[in-house]
């Protein structure tokens, strides 16, 4: 999920980093020129930059300054900062290493420390980005989210400051444009870095406004389902309806079963709560406004109930039927 960029020509440094990163799921990217490093930051989802001052005493500080200005979410390591030009580099997001050997515990601790910092808030899998963002807003959290979308493997970041969404990036998109695209993702893995973001606030709109705009963009880009999918939906709803009516007999219960695209957002949010609170996967649910029972799917299925239908019994019945289908 993470990419490390090292600005160097040193084979021993590259070999040491490969040993440290082995088995951690972090990709190592190498650049020997300033422009190559900039291109990698622009086109690759870099999370950690290691700058070798032995390669260029002038370009290495420039590269760190570029990363700090353009990609403030990237953590950095300055190697061999022995010149006056590198004074003051150390900080919350920049670590320094002044040695000339990389095959030692001190160097490993510097790199491992920066890698651990990227996920010091934990990792969560299979969650809905918009739902998780709303939880962070309620908790007034300050953090950087590194997000991996499940289906496409796209990556992006969302930045929160005291619960407010203040910045985002995804590919070439920044700020509001990036946030709208990330919040349209249905399921993702998220790496949480608890930190005070050093960058400026690039998103002024409230989270709900961003989520609504994201949903609007998603609706505009959505493609109609193929006929085969619609036939499959009809077969499932008819089969489920027949089973329920057979079990209920003449007692008041089901009024109808139908595909219900309007329930997609609610179902998505409910599905996301399972991993967050350790509840397991969502099988079915019931709305307290008497709208009926809903079942996850693409689209979800709704069972509309008679007002006199015993809700708990019907819920148990539908679950038992689903287990048999």
- What does the alpha-carbon distance between residue 191 and residue 45 come to, in Å, rounded to a whole number? 13
- What does the alpha-carbon distance between residue 216 and residue 201 come to, in Å, rounded to a whole number? 24
325: confidence class by pLDDT, cuts 50, 70, 90? confident
CB under 8 Å to 325, separation ≥6 — which residues? 236, 239, 240, 243
Beta strands in the chain (DSSP E): 2-7, 26-31, 48-52, 75-79, 94-97, 122-127, 143-149, 155-161, 164-170, 173-174, 188-194, 254-259, 285-287, 292-295, 301-305
Average pLDDT, the chain: 85
84: confidence class by pLDDT, cuts 50, 70, 90? very low
- What does the alpha-carbon distance between residue 41 and residue 5 come to, in Å, rounded to a whole number? 8
- C-beta separation of 243 from 321 below 8 A: yes
pLDDT of residue 212: 86
Report percent pLDDT > 70 for the chain: 86
Pairing of strands 75-79, 48-52: parallel
138: its two tokens: 């309620």
- Quote the Cα angle for 191-167-208, to 5°: 90
pLDDT of residue 223: 44
123: its two tokens: 């990792």
In the block, tokens 């996850």 appear at: 296
The mean pLDDT value for 277-305 works out to: 78
pLDDT of residue 192: 95
> Higher confidence at residue 278 or residue 241?
241
- What does the alpha-carbon distance between residue 31 and residue 35 come to, in Å, rounded to a whole number? 8
CATH topology of domain 2-117: Rossmann fold (3.40.50)
How do residues 134-192 score in pLDDT, each as one tens digit?
A: 999 999 999 999 999 988 899 999 999 999 999 999 988 999 999 999 999 989 999 99
CB under 8 Å to 207, separation ≥6 — which residues? 133, 134, 137, 164, 165
- Considering only CA atoms, which of 207, 71, 91 is closest in space to residue 141? 207
How do residues 123-144 score in pLDDT, each as one tens digit?
A: 998 889 998 999 999 999 999 9
- Quote the Cα angle for 301-304-305, to 5°: 140
Dihedral sign for Cα atoms in the order 211, 217, 219, 225: negative
pLDDT of residue 100: 83
How do residues 37-83 score in pLDDT, each as one tens digit?
A: 999 998 889 999 999 998 888 899 999 999 999 999 999 999 976 55
> What predicted TM-score, i.e. pTM, was given to this entire model?
0.67
CB under 8 Å to 149, separation ≥6 — which residues? 155, 156, 185, 187, 188
Length of the chain: 325
137: its two tokens: 């807003």
pLDDT of residue 286: 83
Q: What is the CA radius of gyration of the chain?
A: 25
Q: Is 231 exposed, middle or buried (0-12, 13-18, 19+ CB in 10 A)?
A: exposed
Question: Per-domain residue ranges for the chain?
Answer: 2-117, 122-221, 227-324
- C-beta separation of 26 from 3 below 8 A: yes
pLDDT of residue 279: 66
Given a cut of 90, whether residue 215 has pLDDT beyond it is no
What b/e sequence results for 284-297 when a residue is b if at least 16 CB atoms lie within 10 Å of its CB, and e otherwise? bbbeeeebbbbbbb
226: confidence class by pLDDT, cuts 50, 70, 90? low
The mean pLDDT value for 5-23 works out to: 95
pLDDT of residue 251: 72
Q: How many CA atoms lie within 13 A of 244 on its CB side?
A: 27
pLDDT of residue 311: 80
Given a cut of 60, whether residue 89 has pLDDT beyond it is no
> Higher confidence at residue 237 or residue 21?
21
């Amino acid at each position: 999920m993470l990419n490390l960029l090292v600005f160097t020509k040193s084979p021993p440094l590259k070999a040491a980093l490969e040993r440290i990163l082995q088995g951690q799921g972090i990709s190592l990217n190498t650049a020997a020129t300033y422009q190559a490093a900039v291109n990698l930051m622009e086109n690759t989802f870099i999370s950690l930059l290691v700058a070798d001052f032995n390669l260029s005493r002038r370009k290495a500080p420039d590269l760190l300054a570029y990363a700090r200005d353009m990609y403030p979410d990237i953590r950095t390591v300055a190697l061999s900062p022995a010149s006056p030009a590198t004074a003051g580099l150390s900080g919350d997001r920049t670590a320094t290493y002044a040695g000339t050997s990389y095959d030692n515990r001190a160097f490993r601790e510097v790199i491992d420390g920066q890698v651990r910092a990227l996920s010091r808030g934990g990792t969560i899998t299979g969650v809905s980005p918009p739902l998780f963002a709303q939880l962070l807003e309620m908790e007034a959290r300050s953090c950087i989210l590194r997000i991996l979308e499940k289906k496409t493997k796209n990556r992006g970041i969302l930045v929160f400051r005291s619960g407010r969404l203040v910045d985002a990036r995804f590919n070439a998109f920044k700020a509001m444009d990036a946030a709208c695209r990330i919040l349209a993702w249905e399921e993702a893995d998220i790496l949480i870095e608890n930190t005070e973001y050093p960058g400026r606030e690039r998103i002024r709109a409230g989270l709900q406004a961003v989520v609504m705009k994201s949903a609007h963009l998603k609706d505009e880009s959505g493609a109609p389902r193929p006929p085969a999918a619609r036939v499959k939906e009809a077969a499932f709803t008819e089969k489920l309806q027949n089973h329920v009516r057979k079990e209920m007999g003449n007692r008041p219960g089901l009024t109808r079963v139908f595909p219900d695209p309007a329930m997609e957002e609610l179902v998505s949010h409910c599905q996301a709560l399972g991993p967050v609170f350790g509840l397991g996967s969502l099988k079915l649910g019931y709305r307290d406004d008497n709208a009926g029972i809903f079942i996850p799917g693409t689209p979800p299925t709704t069972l509309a109930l008679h007002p006199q239908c015993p809700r708990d019994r019907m819920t148990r019945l539908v679950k038992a039927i689903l287990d048999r289908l």
